[in-house]
Amino acid sequence: MTDPPDDWRGDGSAHDPAPRRLGGGSWRASLSGRITLLAVGIAVLTALLAGLLAVGLTRSSAEESARRTLSRIADAAAVRADAGEAARVSQNRAVRTLGGLGVESASVTQRGAITSTSPLARQAMTPSRQQALLAGRSVSARDEIAGGTVLVEGRPTEAGGIILVQRRADATADADRLVRRVLLALGIAAAIAIAVSAAMARRLARPLRHTADAAHSLAAGRRDVAVPVEGPTEVAEVASALNTLSASLNRSEGRQRDFLLSVSHDLRTPLTGISGYAESLASGVVPADETARVGGVVLTEARRLERLVGDLLDLARLGADQPRLVTQDTDLVSLGREVESVWGKRCAAVGVPFTYLPAVGRAHLSTDPARVRQLVDGLLENALRVTPSGRPIVVEIRAVASHAHQQAETATTPGPGYVIEVRDGGPGLTDADIPVAFEPSVLHERYRGLRPVGTGLGLAIVGRLAALLGGTVEAGHAPEGGARFTLWLPSPRAE
């Protein structure tokens, strides 16, 4: 729709907000940076927790397994020490056998003599453990000896007792190698996750950066902006919406330019006439007997100019954020009779039959009667201008249970209300005219020189007045052969 410039305000002032671009921010403040940091944090935390859990479980399981193995070895050594030969000889043979298994050992005789080639095993044979073995009790312990952790298993024998010692590091060597492999795998997985996250963050942020650049370009005045529709669904929807906005702005500003050119032309025409006749009067070239005629022309052009300026002001006021309405209980049938008394005479003066058809006895609703009258007068002004002598103009008022508004992109059914319909027998509208009938200056430019036209703003004012009153107005073809304009106003009391 060819609207007045969008920067008009209700008080006639204008605003031109300068676009503000957020630049120079740190990488960490960007979407890409935040997503990357979040992904890095999650990957590192996951790897750390998984590593700690894997290390703890693996080492605990390995130590428990080593303890059970050492316990079985100790049981077997004790049995071997008691087998066959003299107890002491058999016990010494078991100690030598254990040395081949990588387990350090020591033996104690019934008299308390300790035999061992391992300093570690001698330190493990503490007096309390020695007493326990000689008393016939088994020993199972985890001890700190020589700055390291060792596993201790002792068994009583016929000759006294035997004690086995294995360093924890030796017992869990295979498990530690496994832990190192697990940690390496977790580190590689974390590095891959960080790299993939950074790549995905850049991929996600790229279309958003393109969209932001396009929005700044729009704010700077460019209208040939097109953003690639890419990325996730939500991001693609933003890009698509921005493309739609760019196209809409381009069309809207094109219509504004056309509107301003049309208004400029319509302002210049009466001003040119007024200026020309004023110069003639001032220079004295107008004969005395022509002065009255020239003054009449100047007055006519001045009134035409005044009407155009008044229409522009009305259009600007209707575009304000809060137009003023004075609502009261209004009977549309009575208002129609007032219209008939005025417009019946005007139509008769030019030979146009005027018919008023109230289809209801009364039509009460809460509205602003002055605005309704202004709207109906605008429609009748438009009808009378194009209707030739002998062709009819009809005003009809009727109640409706619902009203489907076809001018919108999708039909809506607001509900019960009243319809005021203005029909004429003039040249009418084409199917192409109907969708743009209420856009400023469109029909004016289309039919200038072909049929009588006004300022080009009358129907635009009608459309805005209808919206202001909470109703709708639509154009169509009249059975009388001309144009039909149907105003719907809501009322829950419509009958």
pLDDT digits (tens, 9 = 90+) for 237-295: 888 888 888 887 777 777 666 666 656 655 665 677 778 778 887 887 878 788 888 78
121 alpha-carbon distance from chain centroid = 74
Q: Is the pTM of this model over 0.85?
A: no
Q: Which CATH class is domain 323-490?
A: alpha beta
**Closest CA relative to residue 258, chosen from 456, 99, 449:** 456
Condensed to tens digits (0 to 9), the pLDDT of residues 50-72 reads 777 777 776 677 667 777 777 77
Residue-level pLDDT at 91:
52
46: which residues sit within 8 A by CB, 6+ positions away? 190, 193
Domain 25-222 in CATH 3.40.50.11540 = no
- Angle formed by the axes of helices 369-386 and 458-468, nearest 10°: 150
Per-residue pLDDT, averaged over 155-170, amounts to 81
The answer on pLDDT for 332 being more than 90 is yes
7: which residues sit within 8 A by CB, 6+ positions away? 14, 15, 16
Condensed to tens digits (0 to 9), the pLDDT of residues 414-449 reads 568 899 999 999 888 888 888 888 877 677 677 676
Q: What's the fold here for domain 250-317?
A: Helix Hairpins (1.10.287)
223: which residues sit within 8 A by CB, 6+ positions away? 246, 249, 250, 253
Residues paired with 354 in a beta bridge: 393
Instruction: Give how far Cα 94 sits from Cα of 105, 132, 150, 399, 489, Å.
Output: 9, 20, 20, 116, 111
Condensed to tens digits (0 to 9), the pLDDT of residues 121-136 reads 888 888 888 888 888 8
The answer on pLDDT for 14 being more than 60 is no
The answer on pLDDT for 327 being more than 50 is yes
Residue-level pLDDT at 331:
92
Residues paired with 140 in a beta bridge: 153
Q: Roughly how many angstroms between the first and final C-alpha of the chain, as a whole number?
A: 35
474: which residues sit within 8 A by CB, 6+ positions away? 405, 406, 407, 434, 485, 486
Residue-level pLDDT at 97:
55
Domain span(s) for CATH 3.30.565.10 in the chain:
323-490
Domain span(s) for CATH 1.10.287.130 in the chain:
250-317
- Angle formed by the axes of helices 291-318 and 458-468, nearest 10°: 30
Report the alpha-carbon distance of residue 493 to residue 416 in Å, rounded: 8
116 alpha-carbon distance from chain centroid = 80
Domain span(s) for CATH 3.30.450.160 in the chain:
25-222
Residue-level pLDDT at 413:
44
Max distance between CA atoms of the chain, in angstroms, equals 163
